[in-house]
């Protein structure tokens, strides 16, 4: 193999190789080249996305730790804080879905442990191709099994998530996992190898084998038929070892035995050690022969870049090393002193005392940065060309509602989340199925809520608006359980940035998200970028996933979407958006996709001020105890929102006849009201005797509202349009997404 072929096979470009030569002043050997290849991959080095990520706001009154550490940290109150992060495992899951998803969960849990936090909640955001394709069904089934297989065993509840299906993800599924951990604010650990020279480096956890060698570079390539042949690159997870690693790490921290802690992920010991060294501005030497191995005959370079799972790297003061090893033994984990902190600033790998590779840690941390030209792609004009006035009016709303509720992207997610233990830990206040999961903090009145939201279709049709919409939806979801939104973590899933379409989508989405984060006051505190999500058929939709965390002062004051009582008034309320509006509520809607089979038009561009006003008001009313039932209007519009609330509460719904009569002559407007998606809108209920209080609460605000009907009975009625029993709705919506045959509507176009 020529040198050129060698570095190309490691995913390095000619330009990057030249830069390595220039930095090093000599030709790197294979190990050194491997280090650059992994540390300069998108996954570790953010070489394509770094200039864009700078646009995100990342400070705020509750932010204790922004981006740059293993996870972001926010303050809750009474000395409590939350560490959280979301990360992708798309490429590994495309070739080995069970292990890819399982190790995705394991990896994100270790990021949270590395901050010193106890992991207490997991979420995931998933995208697959349509379920009428056998390979897509296989990927979906195995990814869900993998998430459950790992999360259930390790004892961290999976409390929320998101899944949708679209041809854009055929062959390139998205598997984004998020973890939230709890920690005392003054005990946050940072992964800096400071207090430097003479300290020891301890590796603990599972033994090291030949897993995932060059997995990080693999994760930053496009998927081709050859990827299938790279199967051996995917790591294998062991949740049992993961559980021991949680307990052991927390015990070590509790006893104050560690100077710094870092999880091992992409590129294993090499990447973790170089990150610690670069952050601490010190050097680290690793003795490869001291690493406990699972198999024989491993080369030293393999040992240091292996991605064997369930391992952590710690910096320890020499006099505490024995105690550290003893604690590891108690938890039946392998542990060894594998190196030391030095002053030379290099990451140096030794094999029985012989240096076999040495690179200044700063070089590795300093991946090249590519700023590319932002060029509006040609597909957008075509995709946005759609006139809602050409849309047929539904002739049977009964059928429309049932078909929408039964669609794989809108139906009940119970068949997914019932495979996840959502309650272990005994902190889950609101379980999956609501707008956001609600968790308590034991021994206090405090709590937090967390949601994961994704807007691929919207971003495809309008990347900037879609980016903002994803953040706005997360903000609504937290607000309608009653939590105060604080900050987000994100996972940016995009196609190749080397293609103008791909880079445009990424850049525009980031701008939209950044603007929304700014206006809504929810900075980005951690995240991950996954590029090159392409197959031979093309790129995925631009798909940012937003994981948002909010806090409660009193977690008992929360709301859920299900109707609670017969005879409650059902009120639709929304921020009054600017006019003329940009985009149309039926453009890019679920209705358009499910019923008309089209993904087209320009969706409503979010009015962030209106979003904030409406959401903040809903939250205030929940906190004051005025309302306990709220749901945001998103995919499927108000009609689907009403149906979801009726089914969640097991109580029927009567739409007020006068509301329908008002629009008797304007059927298009009625269609828009019932099925459109315009953002900034909520459905709440209130007992009739408290209706004046609700009006009072709404009167001062710039809010539009309508009392649209009443809860009660066991039917779902919109006069003249819909008359269905709850049982009809339930049969449509409660379907098993894993049934043998492709569900109807699984494929569109």
Return the active site residues. Answer: 43, 89
Q: Comparing C-alpha atoms, which of 94, 84, 96, 166 is closest to residue 120?
A: 84
d(CA 694, CA 692) in angstroms, rounded, equals 5
DSSP label at residue 674? H
| Binding residue (CB under 8 A) for other proteins from 111, 285, 421, 501 | 421
Distances in Å between the Cα of 486 and the Cα atoms of 114, 420, 451, 469 are 22, 26, 12, 17
Contacts of 430 (CB under 8 A, 6+ apart): 436, 437, 438, 449, 481, 558, 560
Please say which residue, 42 or 238, places its beta carbon nearer to other proteins.
238
| Binding residue (CB under 8 A) for other proteins from 212, 425, 527, 679 | 425
100 binds other proteins (CB under 8 A): no
Minimum gap (Å) between residue 420 Cβ and other proteins: 6
Q: Please state at what angle helix 608-623 crosses helix 500-520, rounded to 10 degrees.
A: 40
| Binding residue (CB under 8 A) for other proteins from 57, 119, 130, 148 | 148
φ/ψ (deg, to 5) at 642: -55, -45
Tell me, by CB under 8 A, how many residues bind other proteins.
33
Name the token pair of 626.
């005025």
Please say which residue, 119 or 467, places its beta carbon nearer to other proteins.
119
SS (H, E, C) 386-414: CCHHHCCCCCCHHHHHHHHHHCCCCCCCH
| Binding residue (CB under 8 A) for other proteins from 331, 475, 532, 716 | 331
d(CA 160, CA 103) in angstroms, rounded, equals 18
| Binding residue (CB under 8 A) for other proteins from 28, 239, 268, 583 | 239
Minimum gap (Å) between residue 429 Cβ and other proteins: 6
d(CA 521, CA 544) in angstroms, rounded, equals 18
With CB under 8 A as the contact rule, which of the stretches 151-159, 259-267, 276-284, 487-495 interacts with other proteins? 151-159
562 binds other proteins (CB under 8 A): no
378 binds other proteins (CB under 8 A): no
Distances in Å between the Cα of 466 and the Cα atoms of 290, 542, 610, 741, 749 are 50, 9, 16, 33, 22
| Binding residue (CB under 8 A) for other proteins from 33, 546, 555, 571 | 555
Distances in Å between the Cα of 389 and the Cα atoms of 392, 462, 582, 667 are 8, 20, 16, 11
250 binds other proteins (CB under 8 A): no
Minimum gap (Å) between residue 551 Cβ and other proteins: 16
Minimum gap (Å) between residue 736 Cβ and other proteins: 10
Please say which residue, 239 or 280, places its beta carbon nearer to other proteins.
239
With CB under 8 A as the contact rule, which of the stretches 254-262, 414-422, 582-590, 674-682 interacts with other proteins? 414-422
235 binds other proteins (CB under 8 A): no
> 448 to 507, contacts with other proteins by CB under 8 A?
none
Distances in Å between the Cα of 714 and the Cα atoms of 317, 520, 563, 724 are 67, 39, 12, 9
251 binds other proteins (CB under 8 A): no
| Binding residue (CB under 8 A) for other proteins from 68, 240, 387, 739 | 240
Q: Comparing C-alpha atoms, which of 220, 187, 277, 184 is closest to residue 44?
A: 220
557 binds other proteins (CB under 8 A): no
Please say which residue, 103 or 522, places its beta carbon nearer to other proteins.
103
DSSP label at residue 546? E
With CB under 8 A as the contact rule, which of the stretches 339-347, 373-381, 419-427, 494-502 interacts with other proteins? 419-427
| Binding residue (CB under 8 A) for other proteins from 424, 717, 721, 742 | 424
Kindly provide the b/e burial profile for residues 148-186, where b requires at least 16 CB atoms within 10 angstroms of the residue's own CB.
Answer: bbbbbbbebbbbbbbbbbbbbbbbbbbbbbbbbbbbebe
| Binding residue (CB under 8 A) for other proteins from 142, 221, 238, 302 | 238
Interface residues with other proteins (CB under 8 A)?
Answer: 148-149, 152-155, 238-241, 243-244, 331-332, 414, 417-429, 440, 442, 555-556, 738
């Amino acid at each position: 193999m020529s040198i050129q072929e060698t570095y190309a096979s490691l995913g390095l470009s000619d330009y990057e190789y030249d830069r390595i030569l220039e930095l090093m002043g000599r030709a790197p050997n294979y190990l050194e080249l491997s280090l650059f290849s992994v540390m300069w991959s998108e996954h570790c080095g953010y070489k394509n996305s770094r200039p864009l990520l700078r646009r995100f706001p990342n400070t705020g009154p509750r932010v204790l730790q922004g981006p740059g550490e293993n996870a972001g940290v926010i303050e809750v109150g009474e000395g409590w804080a939350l560490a959280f992060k979301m990360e992708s495992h798309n490429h590994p899951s495309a070739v080995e879905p069970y292990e890819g998803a399982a190790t995705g969960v394991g990896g994100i849990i270790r990021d949270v442990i590395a901050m010193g936090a106890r992991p207490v909640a997991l979420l995931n955001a998933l995208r697959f191709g349509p379920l009428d394709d056998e390979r897509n069904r296989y990927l979906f089934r195995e990814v869900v099994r993998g998430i459950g297989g790992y999360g259930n065993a390790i004892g961290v509840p999976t409390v929320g998530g998101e899944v949708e299906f679209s041809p854009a993800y055929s062959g390139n599924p998205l598997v984004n996992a998020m973890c939230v951990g709890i920690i005392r604010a003054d005990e946050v650990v940072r992964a800096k190898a400071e207090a430097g020279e003479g300290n020891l480096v301890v590796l603990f956890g599972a033994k090291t084998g030949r897993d995932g060698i060059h997995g990080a570079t693999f994760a930053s390539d496009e998927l081709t038929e050859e990827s299938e042949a790279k199967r051996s690159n995917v790591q294998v997870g062991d949740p049992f070892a993961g559980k021991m690693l949680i307990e052991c790490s927390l015990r070590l921290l509790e006893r104050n035995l560690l100077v710094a802690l870092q999880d091992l992920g992409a590129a294993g010991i090499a990447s973790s050690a170089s990150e610690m060294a670069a952050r601490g501005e010190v050097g680290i030497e690793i003795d490869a022969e001291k690493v406990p191995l699972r198999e024989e005959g491993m080369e030293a370079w393999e040992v240091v870049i292996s991605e064997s799972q369930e391992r952590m790297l710690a910096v320890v003061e020499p006099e505490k090393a024995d105690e550290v090893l003893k604690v590891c033994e108690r938890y039946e984990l392998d542990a060894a002193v594998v190196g030391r902190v030095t002053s030379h600033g290099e990451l140096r790998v030794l094999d029985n005392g012989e240096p076999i590779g040495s690179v200044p840690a700063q070089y590795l941390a300093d991946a090249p940065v590519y700023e590319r030209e932002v060029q509006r792609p040609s597909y957008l004009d075509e995709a946005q060309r759609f006139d809602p006035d050409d849309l047929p009016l539904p002739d049977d709303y009964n059928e429309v509602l049932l078909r929408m509720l039964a669609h794989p992207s809108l139906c009940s997610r119970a068949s997914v989340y019932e495979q996840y233990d959502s309650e272990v830990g005994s902190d889950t206040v609101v379980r999956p199925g609501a707008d956001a999961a609600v968790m308590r903090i034991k021994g206090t009145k405090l709590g937090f809520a967390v949601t994961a939201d994704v807007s691929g279709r919207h971003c495809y049709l309008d990347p900037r608006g879609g980016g903002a919409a994803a953040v706005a939806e997360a903000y609504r979801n937290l607000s309608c359980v009653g939590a105060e939104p604080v900050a987000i973590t994100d996972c940016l899933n995009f196609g190749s940035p080397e293609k103008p379409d791909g880079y445009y989508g990424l850049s525009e989405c980031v701008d939209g998200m950044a603007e929304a984060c700014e206006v809504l006051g929810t900075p980005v505190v951690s995240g991950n970028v996954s590029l090159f999500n392409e197959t031979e058929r093309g790129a995925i939709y631009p798909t940012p996933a937003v994981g948002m965390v909010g806090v409660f002062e009193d977690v008992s004051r929360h709301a859920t979407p299900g109707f609670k009582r017969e005879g409650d008034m059902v009120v639709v309320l929304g921020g009054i958006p600017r006019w003329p509006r940009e985009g149309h509520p039926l453009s890019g809607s679920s209705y358009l996709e499910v019923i008309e089979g089209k993904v087209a038009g320009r969706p409503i561009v979010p009015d962030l001020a209106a979003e904030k006003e409406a959401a903040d008001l809903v939250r205030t009313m929940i906190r004051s105890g005025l309302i306990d039932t709220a749901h945001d209007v998103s995919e499927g519009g108000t009609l689907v929102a009403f149906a979801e609330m009726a089914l969640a509460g097991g109580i029927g719904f009567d739409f007020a006849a006068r509301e329908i009569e008002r629009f008797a002559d304007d059927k298009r407007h009625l269609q828009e009201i019932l099925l459109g998606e315009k953002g900034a809108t909520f459905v709440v209920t209130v007992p009739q005797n408290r209706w004046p209080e609700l009006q009072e609460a709404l009167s001062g605000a710039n809010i539009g509202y309508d009392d649209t009907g009443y809860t009660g009975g066991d039917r779902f009625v919109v006069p003249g349009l819909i008359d269905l029993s709850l049982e009809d709705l339930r049969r449509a919506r409660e379907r098993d997404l894993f049934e043998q045959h492709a569900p109807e509507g699984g494929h569109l176009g």
